[in-house]
């Protein structure tokens, strides 16, 4: 049975044109991902989805390789209770948030659908050791929630809609 399941997965991955070997190990526990991020000195790449993490294993190989090598990849389902609490804390129900290497600041915030064509270059640029996060690159709508009371381990990196340090791009 295990062999049949493995062969089915391999066959399906071939049909999808995605190399599962380069896909990151997706974390679903945000608190555990924060701990792992601090231990491995890697930034978080948080993908917030509506429903199950659809199509994340179908990321382009270039983006998946950068995620696997340089980030702790996290997926949050904004439709379940824990995921909804985190999504509210982040101020979005679908999108991507990339922290800086310290985990203290948001380097990138994309609300809504992500353009997979631009994602590999953006992830690579933000993963460079020379990259210093001084502003949050924002794509999509600005968050409607700027302050939320949640347990400290759920609190995302600071985000201030009206701060001069934020850089907005739409």
CATH of the structural domain 22-168, one choice from 3.90.1150.10, 3.40.30.10, 3.30.470.10, 3.40.50.720? 3.40.30.10
Q: What percentage of the chain's residues is helix, strand, coil (to nearest 5)?
A: 40, 15, 45
Using pLDDT thresholds of 50, 70 and 90, give the confidence band for residue 118: confident
Q: CA-CA distance, 109 to 136, in Å (whole number)?
A: 7
Does 63 have pLDDT greater than 50? yes
Q: CA-CA distance, 102 to 158, in Å (whole number)?
A: 13
Q: What was the pLDDT predicted at 128?
A: 85
- All structural domains of the chain with their residue ranges: 22-168
Handedness of CA 82, 86, 92, 95 (dihedral sign): negative
CA 43 to chain centre: 10
Tell me the average pLDDT of the chain.
Answer: 74
Neighbours of 12 (CB within 10 A): 11
Burial label for 91, CB within 10 Å (0-12, 13-18, 19+), is buried
**What does pTM read for this prediction?**
0.70
pLDDT tens for 15-29 read: 344 566 788 999 999
On whether the CB atoms of residues 67 and 123 are closer than 8 A, the answer is yes
Q: What was the pLDDT predicted at 85?
A: 93
Q: What was the pLDDT predicted at 20?
A: 64
Neighbours of 149 (CB within 10 A): 6
Does 32 have pLDDT greater than 60? yes
- The better pLDDT of the pair 68, 115 is held by 68
């Amino acid at each position: 049975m295990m062999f049949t399941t493995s062969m089915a997965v391999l066959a399906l991955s071939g049909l999808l044109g995605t190399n599962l070997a380069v896909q990151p190990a997706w974390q679903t526990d945000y608190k555990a991902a924060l701990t792992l991020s601090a231990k491995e000195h890697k930034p978080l790449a948080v993908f917030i989805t509506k429903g199950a993490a659809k199509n994340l294993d179908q990321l382009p190989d270039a983006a998946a390789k950068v995620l696997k090598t340089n980030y702790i990849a996290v997926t949050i389902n904004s439709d379940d209770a824990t995921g909804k609490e985190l999504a509210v804390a982040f101020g979005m129900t679908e999108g991507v948030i990339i922290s800086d290497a310290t985990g203290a600041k948001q380097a990138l915030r994309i609300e809504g659908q992500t353009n997979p064509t631009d994602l590999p270059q953006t992830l690579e640029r933000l993963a460079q050791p020379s990259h210093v996060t001084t502003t949050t690159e924002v794509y999509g709508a600005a968050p409607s929630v700027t302050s939320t009371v949640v347990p400290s381990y759920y609190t995302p990196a600071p985000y201030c809609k009206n701060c001069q340090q934020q850089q907005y791009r739409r």
